[in-house]
Structure formats: structure tokens, C-alpha cells
Amino acid sequence: MNKPAATQSLRFNLAAIAALLVAGTVLSILAGKYLPYSIDWETVFRPAALAISSGQSPYQVGEFFAAPWGLLPLIPVAHLAHNFGRGVYFVLTGAAYAWVAYRLGARPIALVAFLVSPPVLHGYLTGNIDWLVLLGLAFPPQVGLLFVMIKPQIGAGIAIFWLVEAWRSGGIRRVIHDFWPLTLLSLFSLAIFGLWPLRSMQLVEVPKNFNMSLWPWSLPLGLLLLAAGIYKRERRFAISASPFLSPHVVFHSYVVVLAGILPSSRFTILAVLGLWIWVAVRFFTTT
């Protein structure tokens, strides 16, 4: 590439980045002003991020149960002006879902269907951190494990898949190679915050109208998906397995099931349509 062409390409890239930043800022301002109260962001993750950034335990926030390192990317957003920060968080959530869907092989029509599906929209509005978990699917295991294990109830399936694949490809050395960052970070967090994973046992006490797990009836399906993923060496089955294996799953966490079928536009569209029909039926039968 000659110098004028390289300069022109650089200018175009800088202009595109500037346009995205301006668009993101405008969307953040509008979202922060007009979107409804984001209960999970406002009452759980923002307070927990502020706590850990000031050297306190995030587990002083009563409803925070996730891995503590999941709060680190949220600290800059938590310190923004209240409404603007909420808008920025909304934009980041949407951008992350779109990027992960693209990296998982979603075609444009499947990507759009995914972004307007009920679990994704529910995640936007509540301000949860499932998007952080899904980011792990776009990285190799060594990095991806740090994300998917922020919420094991929706990330454990792919973690087990990666463990088996590591053993198959290189035995114990490969397992250590892939899992040492997660192991080290987990031990470090236990040394600082104590046995925080035990707090997750409190999740089973969450009222049934929030806990939408189908466990134990869903357990055979979860095991079947996980076994199929391991046998066929196809990670999309393992991605979708976790919510069916967990005794606690909230509605927006079923986004990971959709993530597993994104490479198939047909299945994605059918699943999203089915979810919208289910939402409509529930709405009209409970009002």
C-alpha cells in the first residue's frame, strides 16, 4: 500500500472511531435519561463495583453472588455520573452482545433476532452482567474461563467442555496451561474475600418468581447437551447446557442457550419467536 492510500485508510479508521464514540455518547445520554430503572445495575452491581474500588468487600451488597473479578471492568462505569453511567452500561451491554454474536458466527438476520430476543432485552433493562459471561465465548479458553466463570450457573458447561478438550489435546500440561489463570485468580480472591462461592447457596432461596430454573426436570436435557458437546467436540451444545444444569437461573440468563444456537439462523429465529409467544401468553394470562 502506497503512502497516500495508507494515510487515507488511517484517516478513515480514525473518523469511524470518532463517529462510534460520538454515537455511543449520544446513545448513553438518551438511555440514561429515558430508560426505566435498571434494578440489577442500581442495587447490586454498581454498589458492589464501588465497594471493591474503595477496598471494601463487594459481598456487603446483599444480593451480589458472582465472582469478584467480574466487577473490575465495571468500576470505571460505576464512577460516572449516575444517569450517564447507567446509559453507558446499557450501550456497553448491547455492543458486547452484538460482538459476541458476530464472533460466534451469527448471520445478520440471526444477530438482529438475538439482539431483540426477550432474554437479551431483559438483560438490557435489568442491567445484569450476563454479557460479561458471554464475552468469554469470544476468547480462547485461557482468557475465556475468566469470563464464563463469573457466573458458573451459565458458564460451567463450556468450562467443562474446555477442560475435556484441554485433556484430549495435551493432557495435564494443556489443562494447566489453560486453567492456571482462573486457578490463580480464584485462589487470590479466596484469600481476600474468604469462601465467597458458598454464598451462591443462598440463590436457591430466591423467590420462585425470580428463579426460572427448570431444575431438576431440566437436568437430563442439560446432561444430554453437555455429553453431546463433548462427544461431538462441538462447543455450541456445551454453551447451551449450563442453565439446564443449575437450580437457579433468572430469565435473562437463558441468553446463553440462544448463544449456543446462533450459527443456525433458522433455529435462532424459531427460538426467538417461540420466546416472544411465551412472553405474550404469560403477559395476557397474568394481567
For residue 216, whether the previous peptide bond is cis, meaning omega lies within 30 degrees of 0, is yes
Using an 8 Å Cβ cutoff, are 225 and 241 in contact?
yes
Query: Do the domain assignments include residue 15?
Result: no
CA–CA dist 267, 176 (Å, integer): 36
Grouping H, G, I as helix, E, B as strand and the rest as coil, residue 166 is: helix
Once rounded to an integer, what is the mean pLDDT over residues 49-69?
Answer: 91
Using an 8 Å Cβ cutoff, are 27 and 87 in contact?
yes
Query: Do the domain assignments include residue 32?
Result: no
Is the pLDDT at 10 greater than 60, yes or no? no
Query: Do the domain assignments include residue 255?
Result: yes
Query: Do the domain assignments include residue 199?
Result: yes
Is the pLDDT at 19 greater than 80, yes or no? no
Instruction: Please give the residue range of the domain that contains residue 172.
Output: 105-286
Query: Do the domain assignments include residue 58?
Result: no
Count how many domains the chain has. 1
Query: Do the domain assignments include residue 39?
Result: no
CA–CA dist 238, 199 (Å, integer): 25
Segment 25-45, tens digit of pLDDT: 777 777 777 777 888 999 999
Is the pLDDT at 200 greater than 90, yes or no? no
First vs last C-alpha separation in the chain = 63
Is the pLDDT at 188 greater than 80, yes or no? yes
Query: Do the domain assignments include residue 209?
Result: yes
Q: Cα 275 vs. chain centroid, distance in angstroms?
A: 19
Q: Record the pTM.
A: 0.89
Query: Do the domain assignments include residue 20?
Result: no
Is the pLDDT at 210 greater than 60, yes or no? yes
Q: Which of 159, 182, 151 is nearest to 255 (CA)?
A: 151
Query: What is the structure's pLDDT at 7?
Result: 60
Is the pLDDT at 195 greater than 60, yes or no? yes
Average pLDDT, the chain: 87
Query: What is the structure's pLDDT at 51?
Result: 95
Query: What is the structure's pLDDT at 71?
Result: 95
Is the pLDDT at 285 greater than 60, yes or no? yes
